[in-house]
Amino acid sequence: MSTGPAHRPGTDVHLSVFLHGLRLDYRAHPAAAQLFLCEWNAHHGAHSAALLPGDAHEFPRLPCERLYLAV
């Protein structure tokens, strides 16, 4: 069984999500993060999630990231 696409070090982006006063930070494949941002911002407002510069290796992967890559 495959766990999803292979991720090369340094290719992930830092995705920051704001939900009810909490800031949740994740790392994600750039294509998955972009699709997530479009969907999330459409439902929660234009400034409730963002891609931030810098290394994302310290953050957990975006939950259900593979769903955003299966398009």
pLDDT, one tens digit per residue, over 3-55 is: 445 555 558 999 999 988 899 999 999 999 999 999 998 888 777 899 999 88
What's the whole-model pTM score?
A: 0.78
Helix, strand and coil content of the chain, in percent to the nearest 5, comes to 30, 25, 45
> Is the pLDDT at 70 greater than 80, yes or no?
no
Give the model's pLDDT for residue 3. 47
Cβ atoms of residues 69 and 5 within 8 Å: yes
In this prediction, residue 25 carries a pLDDT of 96
